[in-house]
């Protein structure tokens, strides 16, 4: 089993990376492989709602960035963690662009797989950021992975994050819960429990 973790910060080894690394270390102890994908500082095109992906078998029509490559990796993964720094009480714009396009074009790659959001901040704005990312999981029918507190760490530098003992504990508990959920899903699949198919076709268009 493998977990993909997306670092939504432009800093490859900053505070968000530090939180994801703590999750990765605990997943390794649980016998779960993980990989941190650095979204990095390169430009990421926004989703423009063209709907061309509906005719491209789960791929985005634009190929000038790694989005389609990441969708293919997601299809082979069993669970996900999306980490973000907090910018003005919201996730990084780069991460939101990635999520918009990956989930719009390749939502089937995420369906019924556990997902967790992690936020890092100097002080505040974390819960609003977590709320924004969690909404992607809800639309993709993904079980959301909890911890024993909000999935966040605090600090202005990686060194300060390492002093946030409660935050690091929260990351480890998140990893334990994620590993537990992955084992349950695998056990269910091995015993013939198939994920439900959602009803489709009904669109209430008069609501504005």
Tell me what pLDDT residue 142 has: 98
Asked if residue 94 lies in contact with residue 39, where contact means CB atoms within 8 angstroms, the answer is yes
Asked if residue 7 lies in contact with residue 20, where contact means CB atoms within 8 angstroms, the answer is yes
Q: What is the per-residue burial (b if ≥16 Cβ within 10 Å, else e) of 122-143?
A: eeebbeebbebbbebbeebebb
pLDDT tens for 26-59 read: 999 999 999 999 999 888 999 999 999 988 888 9
Q: How far apart are CA 126 and CA 148, in angstroms?
A: 16
Asked if residue 102 lies in contact with residue 71, where contact means CB atoms within 8 angstroms, the answer is yes
User: CA 99: distance to chain centroid?
Assistant: 8
The pTM score is: 0.95
3-state SS assignment for residue 162:
coil
pLDDT tens for 71-125 read: 999 999 999 999 999 999 999 999 999 999 999 999 999 999 999 999 999 999 9
């Amino acid at each position: 089993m493998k977990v993909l973790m997306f670092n939504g910060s432009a800093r490859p080894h900053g505070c968000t990376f530090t939180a994801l690394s703590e999750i990765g270390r605990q997943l390794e102890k649980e016998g779960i492989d993980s990989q941190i994908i650095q979204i990095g500082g390169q430009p990421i095109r926004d989703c423009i709602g063209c709907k061309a992906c509906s005719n491209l078998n789960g791929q985005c029509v634009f190929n000038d960035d790694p989005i389609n490559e990441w969708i293919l990796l997601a299809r082979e993964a069993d669970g996900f963690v999306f980490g973000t720094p907090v910018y003005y009480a919201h996730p990084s714009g780069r991460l939101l662009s990635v999520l918009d396009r990956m989930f719009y074009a390749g939502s089937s790659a995420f369906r019924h797989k556990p997902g967790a959001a992690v936020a890092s901040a100097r002080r505040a704005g974390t819960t609003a950021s977590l709320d924004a990312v969690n909404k992607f999981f809800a639309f993709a029918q993904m079980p959301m992975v909890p911890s024993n507190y909000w999935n966040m760490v605090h600090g202005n530098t990686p060194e300060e994050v390492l002093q946030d003992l409660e935050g690091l504990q929260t990351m480890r508990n998140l990893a334990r819960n994620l590993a537990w959920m992955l084992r349950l899903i695998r056990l269910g699949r091995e015993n013939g429990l198939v994920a439900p198919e959602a009803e489709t076709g009904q669109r209430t268009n008069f609501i504005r």
